[in-house]
Amino acid sequence: MSAFHTYKNPSLAVDMVVFGYQDNKLSVLLLNRNEEPFKNEWTLPGGFVRMEDTFEETCTNILSKKLGLTKLYLEQLYSFDETDRDPRGRVISVAYYSLINPAKFKIVAGSMANDVKWFEVKKMPKLAFDHKKIFAAAIKRLQSKILYFPLGFELLDDLFTMSELHQLYECILDTEIDRRNFSRKILDADFIINTGIKREGVKNRQPDLFKFNKKLKQNNFHLNIQQQ
């Protein structure tokens, strides 16, 4: 018998942190489980990896079957391999995070959930498994990466004002950012393009509308907005 067959193999799963941004609040999408373990408790969306699927295909299945979502931004986060992280046995989880604008999607709970709901990141319920740890890692990654990679535009409408972009960064980074300094650095980096269109329906002013510069070379800037 080969050495391959002498070892018990752990199960492999994917867990997902789905971030959304609406009304100047950063939220995460959670499922309320309708089966054991942790029945009736809140968890991140997740599922086991099938023999015929890649990690990203597993993510796609989770998003479509459990949440009714398709074609989202996905990035692998980290692997979580504590031996006791799942009461069903030895399960290694490869975590991903995703970003969506909730206004663009209709969330649908799949057959394995009692409910699916957005929670503000500052008002999270108790999470089952080791999902609190996974969520914390995802927040940290998002706060770090948004400074040098154009993630935020997945969370905004296609057209947005400078004020709306500024509010998004303040919300994600959980800190006040000098507005004038922020605008200068964003514009100097060719991060966004002024469309020449004005936002209508705003009292006393009509702010410019911008869009993300899709031709931006994503490795050519670092938005060190913490420096004043």
- State how far the Cα of 196 lies from the Cα of 19, in Å rounded to an integer: 30
Sorted by where each begins, the domain ranges of the chain are 11-145, 158-212
Structure tokens at 99: 């970003």
User: Which residues does 7 contact at the CB level (< 8 Å), separation at least 6?
Assistant: none
Residue 202 CB-half CA count within 13 A: 10
Topology of 158-212 in CATH? Arc Repressor Mutant, subunit A (1.10.10)
Token match 């100097």: residue?
Answer: 188
DSSP state of 68: -
Topology of 11-145 in CATH? Nucleoside Triphosphate Pyrophosphohydrolase (3.90.79)
* pTM of the predicted structure, to 2 decimals: 0.89
pLDDT the model gives residue 202: 66
Per-residue pLDDT tens listing for the chain (228 residues): 455 567 788 999 999 999 999 999 999 999 999 999 999 999 999 999 999 999 999 999 888 887 778 778 899 999 999 999 999 999 999 999 999 888 888 787 777 788 999 999 999 999 999 999 999 999 999 999 998 887 888 899 999 999 999 999 999 999 999 999 899 888 888 889 999 999 887 666 789 999 998 887 655 567 776 544
- State how far the Cα of 225 lies from the Cα of 179, in Å rounded to an integer: 10
34 within 8 A of 113, measured Cβ to Cβ? yes
